[in-house]
A and B are shown apart, each in its own frame.
Chain A
Amino acid sequence: MSIDLSQFIPSFLEESFEGLELMESELLNLKEGDNETIDSIFRAAHSIKGGAGTFGFVKVTEFTHLVETLLDEMRDGRREINSKDTEILLESVDCMRLLIEAARDDEEYDQDKVAQTTSRLAETLGDEPSSDSDNQSENMVAASNVCGYTINFIPEHSLAKTGNDPLFIFSALAELGQLTLSADCNDLPALVDIDPQELYLSWQLTLYTDADEAEIREIFEWVEDECLLEVVPIPDTSNTSQDIDVLASEEEPQSQSTTTKQESLVNTPKSSTETELAQDGKVEDENIPAKAKAKADVGSIRVGVDKIDNLINLVGELVITQSMLSELGNDFDMDKVDRLTSGLEQLLQNTKELQESVMRIRMLPISFAFNRFPRLVHDLAIKTGKKMELVIKGEQTELDKTVMEQIGDPLVHLVRNAADHGIESCEVRLAKGKPEKGTISLDAYHQGGNIVIEIKDDGAGIDREIVLAKAVEKGLIDVNAILTESQVYDLLFEPGFSTAAEVTDISGRGVGMDVVKRNIQSLGGRIQVESTLGKGSCFKVHLPLTLAILDGQLVKVGSETYIIPLIAIVESLQIDNKLINRVSGDMVLYRLRDDNVPILPIYQLFNLATKCTEIDKALLVVVEADGQKIGLMVDDLLAQQQVVIKSLKDNYQQVAGISGATILGDGSVAMILDIPGIIHMALAQAQHAQREKTDGNASVTAEVCL
């Protein structure tokens, strides 16, 4: 029988890496007495061990066994949870990752690190590592001069209730050789007393086989506690059955009973069963259907082969539908209109499924990139001896997979930089009146067709003078150069620039930031620095989002359809005339409970012609960005749907108030509104109007309708 286990290895690897990630993040959150967390960490380790054993990754199994033992002790309460053990476990997670990666790539791993961690684990456990599979294999009875066995099998009456059936046991025995058996029905009660759920028989079996005793006992393994079992070898003499008969009859229950406790769990069945099985089943070539449904909410950044297969299947269906339709079109008459309708429905279904599958593959929440940071900051805090915590926001913001994969390293650099150069030591912080513990925060959000990732710290901030002096010293700028603030910060990204007084092994030797910038630029993004001396710095990474999906509300203004990101919408409402207030001449405010929300007619902002210019006939979509609410006046609300964001920049340019475009169901293009941008525009416009007003000019732009 040749079932190729390698086909399951990718999915094992995938779930192992997920398991490791889970272990890591849970370990970082682990608190005394949190049994649930310990349980889930244990389970993850346990699964990895089981899988690694099954798929032949011996090193992983052995190592994970130690980890599991330690976790088991924690789980049982035999060991208290302390930070030292947690550290060791975190290190172990790294080792497991190393080992699994090495196994995956069939490469060498850092043996020192693994050996070191192994000995630390062993030390913690207080004993030498031992593998649970070594001990028992020695006890096998040598069966060289045995030609068979007589077996006395007296099951307890309740045996069937465990789901065991002697018949199957016997047929398993029969596969080992030639089996004869006789049943003993002495225990059988009178018919009226029989309980049909009980087993009253016992058996005497004779098996001629070259299998050893352990194999036979293994077959009885599951019932050995519910029966009296004796296995007596039949010596292999050239003599005939006479002797055997004698032996069989002589054999007494007591003689061998001491050996029944022998364990043989880890022995693998020998060739006899294997050859038998080889005839039994042929491995079918057909693939198991892709299990895409079971993994609907993908927990992985790696795309499994099954998902690709699923896509191929969908494309296959699409092709079938297409050929069906084109055949239908070859000689079409009205009789076939039903078939056409159903064909089109099928096409719709195919396309939808295909789209969904593709989307699911491309887009992943940024938590995949963020996941590694709690651990990183934890380690950095230990290394630097500073106190710091990490705050993560917006981890559900979706990002294209390729962008995600490439943004990981630059982000690590920036976080390291924040921990190393940003956050001050405890003493300095306390002296400055700051909390002892520094905060590094990571945030991700969509803005104007970009994803923005913020890496912020409440540390020392960037000292412009030092940066300038350093740049002069390095010959990057002229002594007399006058630079704007952002130009100064740009110096940080110059090759060979490093501001740390000492070079540490954390942020490296200034080879990082220029690479960070280059990587971000190669993704079509940019990086922006804001900093206040003494208060902290904020690095903003803007990345394009050309493939992002967005949940949008379609709205109508005049003849145009726009899309408002659902996430920005606070509520949509019919305008109630009584709640409209005009203040300072031309500002129109809408009273939304306690808030006064400025009304902004889209048609004015975008200079569109529409019949719907009266506030009380229009609809108001209240949106919020940067803490500012604004009411967008639209003609009508249409459907809500998911749209794919397409950049306008590829062939055109960025447009104020528009974050991108999308293609609607009918093939037409619709613009996606950039809410922060629009709010910004509205504010600028209001100020402009204000200026004109004070200049004595008649209001031009902000003439709000009524």
Chain B
Amino acid sequence: MNIQAMAQDIPVEGEHTMEGVDFITSGDQYLTFLLAQEQYAVDILCVEEIRSWEQPTKIPNAPSYIKGVINMRGIIVPIVDLRLKFSIGEASYLDTTVVIVLTYHNEGNSRTIGFVVDAVSDVLNVDNADIKPAPAFGGCVGPQYIEGLINSENKVVTILNVAHLQKVEQHRLHS
């Protein structure tokens, strides 16, 4: 699968001095993925792994976008379907459907959550200065989730704020 190949293309810290390879070290790298036809991206340093879709164990009375939990090497990881969460496209589960597992560290705590997306597409090198604020036109992705927009060739990629994605809304039993 091309994800594997792509994953190998992701430069690792410390490899920067590799001979003959010129990495762009200024700015950050982002992993881009597709929700329906739209391009989104997350900070690549947060990406734990990319998994193929598997049916998770349901969490009783959870919101529909929380698909359940899976066992990732002994860790219980919740799975959030971003398409349902943002109401983008159709939540279909195909061979190309993947789960991007993100870990976000915050003051000694870390949280690991898997996000279902339609496909992973590329790794983007982004200069911070090129990130533009998103226009405030609403849309289905709440503004708190959006870090900014970046132009990639002729497309616009929405950079998502991982810290906010990781915040699970408290949900209660219907009562």
Contact = CB atoms under 8 A, between A and B. Distances in A.
Interface in B68-92: 68-71, 74-78
Contacts of B170: 653
A656 B76 contact: no
Closest 6 CB pairs of A and B: A606-B60, A669-B57, A652-B78, A656-B173, A663-B71, A646-B76
Interface centre among B60, B77, B112 (most CB of A within 10 A): B60
B57 A560 contact: yes
B36 interface: no
Interface string A633-649: 00000000000001110
B98 to A, nearest CB: 19
A324 interface: no
A670 interface: yes
A685 interface: yes
Nearest to B59: A655
B57 A681 contact: no
A648 B76 contact: yes
B47 to A, nearest CB: 15
Given A560-B57, A653-B168, A668-B57, A684 B175 contact: yes
Q: Which of B68, B69, B78, B172 has the most CB of A within 10 A?
A: B69
Residue among B61, B170, B174 having the largest count of chain A Cβ atoms under 10 Å:
B61
B113 interface: yes
Contacts, number: 75
Contacts of B76: 646-648, 650-652, 661, 663, 669
Interface in A9-61: none
Given A605-B60, A648-B69, 8 more contacts: A560-B58, A648-B78, A650-B76, A651-B77, A651-B113, A655-B59, A656-B173, A681-B173
A669 B58 CA distance: 9
Interface string A646-676: 1110111101111001010001111100000
Given A605-B60, A606-B61, A669 B69 contact: yes
Interface of B: 56-62, 68-71, 74-78, 111-113, 168, 170, 172-175
B173 A670 contact: no
A701 interface: yes
Nearest to B58: A560
Nearest to B80: A652
A685 B111 CA distance: 32
Given A650-B76, A667-B71, A669-B69, A655 B57 contact: no
Nearest to B54: A668
Contacts of A667: 71
A451 to B, nearest CB: 19
A684 B173 CA distance: 10
Interface residues of A, number: 28
Contacts of B112: 651
A701 B77 CA distance: 30
Given A652-B69, A661-B69, A671 B59 contact: yes
A651 B60 contact: no
A652 B59 contact: yes
Interface of A: 560, 605-608, 646-648, 650-653, 655-658, 661, 663, 667-671, 681, 684-685, 688, 701
Contacts of B113: 651-652
A668 B111 CA distance: 20
B74 A663 contact: yes
A69 B78 CA distance: 64
Contact of A608 (B58, B168, B172): B58
B59 A701 contact: no
A653 B40 CA distance: 26
A561 to B, nearest CB: 8
Given A651-B77, A655-B62, A669-B69, A661 B173 contact: no
Contact of B78 (A651, A670, A671, A688): A651
A646 B60 CA distance: 16
B60 A655 contact: yes
Nearest to A700: B174
B60 A658 contact: yes
B61 to A, nearest CB: 6
Nearest to B60: A606
A688 B62 CA distance: 20
A656 B60 CA distance: 8
A549 to B, nearest CB: 14
A594 B100 CA distance: 55
Given A651-B113, A653-B168, A669-B76, A661 B57 contact: yes
A670 B111 CA distance: 20
A657 B68 CA distance: 15
A550 to B, nearest CB: 15
A382 B103 CA distance: 55
B75 A651 contact: yes
Given A607-B61, A668-B57, A671-B60, A651 B74 contact: no
A146 B37 CA distance: 109
B99 to A, nearest CB: 13
Nearest to A662: B76
A671 B61 CA distance: 13
13 contacts: A646-B75, A650-B111, A651-B78, A652-B59, A653-B168, A655-B60, A656-B61, A656-B172, A657-B173, A658-B59, A661-B76, A668-B71, A669-B69
A605 B76 CA distance: 23
B57 A652 contact: no
A222 to B, nearest CB: 60
A650 B109 CA distance: 9
A143 to B, nearest CB: 72
A447 to B, nearest CB: 18
A627 to B, nearest CB: 23
A166 to B, nearest CB: 67
Given A606-B60, A669-B71, A671-B60, A652 B175 contact: no
A608 B60 CA distance: 8
Nearest to B166: A651
Contacts of B75: 646, 650-651
Contacts of A685: 175
B166 to A, nearest CB: 9
A653 B170 CA distance: 8
A651 B175 contact: no
Contacts of B57: 560, 661, 668-671
B175 to A, nearest CB: 6
Nearest to A663: B71
A648 B58 CA distance: 12
Contacts of B71: 663, 667-669
A560 B69 CA distance: 12
A449 to B, nearest CB: 12
A656 B70 CA distance: 19
A653 B68 CA distance: 12
Nearest to B170: A653
Nearest to A649: B76
A293 B38 CA distance: 61
Contacts of A656: 60-61, 172-173
Contacts of A684: 175
Contact of A651 (B56, B61, B111, B174): B111
A605 B174 CA distance: 10
Contacts of B61: 606-607, 655-657
A684 to B, nearest CB: 6
B174 A701 contact: yes
A363 to B, nearest CB: 17
Contacts of B74: 646, 663
